Amino acid sequence: TVPFALLAREDPPPSAQVRPVFSGFSLASLLRPFATRDFSLAWSYRFLVVTGYSLVAFYLLFYIADAIGFARLFPGRTAEAGHSLVTAIAVVGVVAVSAVVAVNGSRVTRRKPLGVTGAVLLTIAAAVMAATPDWTLVLIAFALYGLGQGCYGAVDIALMTDVLPSAQDRGKDLGLINLAVTLPQAIAPLIALVLLERLDLGLRSLFVAAALCFLGAALAVAAIRRVR
């Protein structure tokens, strides 16, 4: 970030638009964007997707080691090797979608279909992982998972900026949107604590929870009106 801060040029705003620090700040003004329907839906979309991501990422190694029993299926190989394999498969999907979108960037004028498709693919992938210990199906699920991640990443930032309520408060509102990335990383372990310790449901329940998060995200992004 240091080269960016030192070298990037930014024209100062007109003096008439400069406001004193904390001018007009209040809790109500901070949360005002959530009164806008599309902003709330887009925020929920990002929050639910990242919550699902966190549940999968944080507990994937334990899932491969314990729920699948990777070492029993492949004697002499560790669960870490299985983790590396499924991660690599997912990365291929992410790169593939990103490359297609990048090459056809100017022609991609509809963001909602990509957002919905990504969330649906993530839902299917997490549901498959929750439903079966079959290693082949898990690999297929992670191929879908990577494609879903690629679809989400291709439209995420553009979709978020499209729903900002006003240009005047866009910096503050983007900060609120970024909370939808940081909060899930704190919430995912709490979900795991409830499911694994309090309810004793097993590791697969985390992937059921992730699938429900992704499904909710699909419904949220489909309901946004301002973005095509």
pLDDT digits (tens, 9 = 90+) for 87-140: 999 999 999 998 888 787 667 677 888 899 999 999 999 999 999 989 999 999
CA neighbor of 68 nearest in space, from 130, 146, 143: 130
Query: Is residue 136 within a helix (H) or strand (E), and if so which, with residue range?
Result: helix 135-162
Provide the CA 200 distance to its chain's centre, in angstroms: 26
- For residue 107, the tally of other CB atoms under 10 A from its CB is 8
Please give the CATH superfamily to which domain 34-222 belongs.
MFS general substrate transporter like domains (1.20.1250.20)
pLDDT tens for the chain, 228 residues: list them.
899 888 888 887 777 666 666 666 667 767 788 888 998 999 999 999 999 999 999 999 999 999 898 888 899 899 999 999 999 999 999 999 988 887 876 676 778 888 999 999 999 999 999 999 899 999 999 999 999 999 999 888 888 888 888 777 777 888 888 999 999 999 999 999 999 999 989 999 999 999 999 999 999 999 998 776
pTM for this predicted structure = 0.87
Beta carbons within 8 Å of 32's beta carbon, 6+ residues apart: 165
Query: Is residue 209 within a helix (H) or strand (E), and if so which, with residue range?
Result: helix 204-222
Domain ranges of the chain: 34-222
CA neighbor of 129 nearest in space, from 92, 95, 82: 82
